[in-house]
Amino acid sequence: MQDEMLHVRGSQRSWGRWRAPLAALAGALAGTLATGLLAHAEGEPTGASPYANLAIFARALAHIEASHVEPPDQDRLVYGAIEGMVDTLDPHSEFLDPEEFRVLTSDTEGQFGGVGVSIDVRDGWLTVHGLTQGSPAQRAGVEPGDRFLTIDGWTARDMPLSQAVRRMRGAPGTEVRIRLRREGAEAAIELVLTREVIRVEAVEARTLPGRIAYVRLRQFQGTTTDELRAALDRSAEETAASGGITGLLLDLRGNPGGLLDEAVRVSDEFLSEGVIVSTRGRDGQLLDEARARRGGTRPAWPMVVLVDHFSASAAEIVAGALQDHHRATIVGARTWGKGSVQNLIQLPDGSALKLTIARYYTPSGRSIQAQGIQPDVEIEQLDPSMLQTLRDRAQGSGEALLERHLAGDGDAHALPPPPRDAPRAAPGPDEAPGSMSGLEQDHQAQVARQVLQALIAASSGR
């Protein structure tokens, strides 16, 4: 799973436009080599034409085809040349051979065979960006932020994303060996994961106490908006008898992004007018501008959007649009900062070129690239063990535990603090069994709920 924001289009015309001239050029130069004129030709200036260096490529290709000790595979030669060319660009541009393109397509369709991790590149390292709930990787304890050292023995440092995805995907029941480096851990983590069919449900939702709709978007795939609509409709039905939804908590944490069109459609659910996102290409040229439409806009519920360091790409578009339009309060940690748009250009042989063509901007004109979205309420996550430790410390301290403390008005009826080794109480309403983890131990989510409850109270005039 990758985090790229994609436009998909065919380009057989543009490919065909250059195919014949390039073939003619290669043939002509190969003929020059064959007649012994290469030495003279290599001494000539290349001129000002931007395509002059194609002559150098064609000559190198002719040398390889004519003189290499073993007959070369022409497809591998051409694919390798394109890969090398694209590698000189930004880290999100890449060439995908037919198999790699098939993997990417299955990813955005929401079902594939693998271990259930989404990855991106950070400082040259392949980094775990998110995990599919219940996947082999999640069950084995892989965490966002883990960096890959090796994948099946191959060094992961500077490995292209497409290669990493291809090595981790495979037939269900087969194994992949990985070594990870985790911040704060002294030794590398070695795991053997068994691949499974991964079905990605883009949306996870439920109704919380107080008639609050909680919706988590895991990624932006082709079904995301439809799943979101269905989830909101269910919550509205569940709360209709008691007055309807009072507020919405939209959780985008760990969401690596996905399809740009889905990010626009999700934003449009909550905005009735105005710009959602604009894309600008070379020299700041405006390429596209997506705007909200009034039809189908959801009620103006008080709304909080949860983000973290691993919210990226399409998730940042949604958060930025809702923030700029003052439609939602953003709570959590500064987001990843992936603010570029990739065009997926399908080529006739089944391969594809994924090319960064633009940067995207929020409605107010902010570029998110390498900066991210700054939350309105910034709060870092605490892991459950740390949170419990803080609670234990709070229970073991305070004025009421001091000898000879002055009694308060209700002191005679106050319950003593529980012993430090007391068992936890039975699960409350936020810890209902099921596929969703309980929110009680989720520090960021608890802060977000407090902010949302304050917004609900303010909107109702209380």
* DSSP at 287: E
Residue in the structure block whose two tokens are 């004109």: 365
Cα–Cα distance measured from residue 59 to residue 55, given in angstroms and rounded to the nearest whole number? 6
Active site residue 324: yes
Q: Which of 307-322 are b and which e, b meaning 16 or more Cβ less than 10 Å from the residue's Cβ?
A: bbbbbbbbbbbbbbbb
Six token digits for residue 255: 């969401």
* DSSP at 245: -
CB 128 within 8 A of CB 189: no
* DSSP at 217: E
Given 324, 354, 430, 442, which residue is catalytic? 324
Given 235, 278, 311, 313, which residue is catalytic? 313
Active site residue 409: no
Count CB atoms within 10 A of the CB of residue 123.
6
Active site residue 354: no
Q: DSSP string of 15-78?
A: HHHHHHHHHHHHHHHHHHHHTT-HHHHHTS---S-TTTHHHHHHHHHHHHHHH-SS---HHHHH
Residue in the structure block whose two tokens are 């908590």: 249
CB 452 within 8 A of CB 302: yes
User: Nearest-CA neighbor of 23 among 13, 15, 33?
Assistant: 15
Given 338, 354, 430, 442, which residue is catalytic? 338
Q: Which of the residues are catalytic?
A: 313, 324, 338
